[in-house]
Amino acid sequence: MLGIVVLLALVYAGDDLAARLPIPRGRNPYGTVDLNTLYAIPEKNRKTEFVLGDPQTVTCLHALFPHFGYNPCWYVERKKTQRIDE
């Protein structure tokens, strides 16, 4: 069990180091993803109307784990549609 914890700590530390230093040289650790905003507006007849909002550009990080307040790009790519309930 201790070996798994140490291995996870090493992977996280390596991921953090790769995010701080551009490894390999010249690699940009940040990326951008365009998100679609979908507003869910409840109606009186218990149905929901969906209205597509303006797309937003979000900064993400090319890493396995979130660092510096940015989510990883692989996670943001999977959640491209953001639903906002009103």
pLDDT tens-digit series, residues 6-43: 999 999 999 999 888 877 777 888 999 999 999 999 99
Q: Percentage of the chain with pLDDT > 70?
A: 100
Number of domains in the chain: 1
Q: How far apart are CA 40 and CA 36, in angstroms?
A: 13
Q: Percentage of the chain with pLDDT > 90?
A: 72
Say what the pLDDT of residue 82 is.
87
Side-chain-facing half-sphere of 71: CA atoms under 13 Å: 11
* C-beta separation of 71 from 60 below 8 A: yes
Quote the mean pLDDT of the chain. 91
Q: Which domain holds residue 45?
A: 2-85
For residue 63, which of 18, 25, 21 has the smallest C-alpha distance?
18
Global pTM reads 0.75
* C-beta separation of 41 from 84 below 8 A: no
Say which residue the tokens 């992977």 belong to: 11
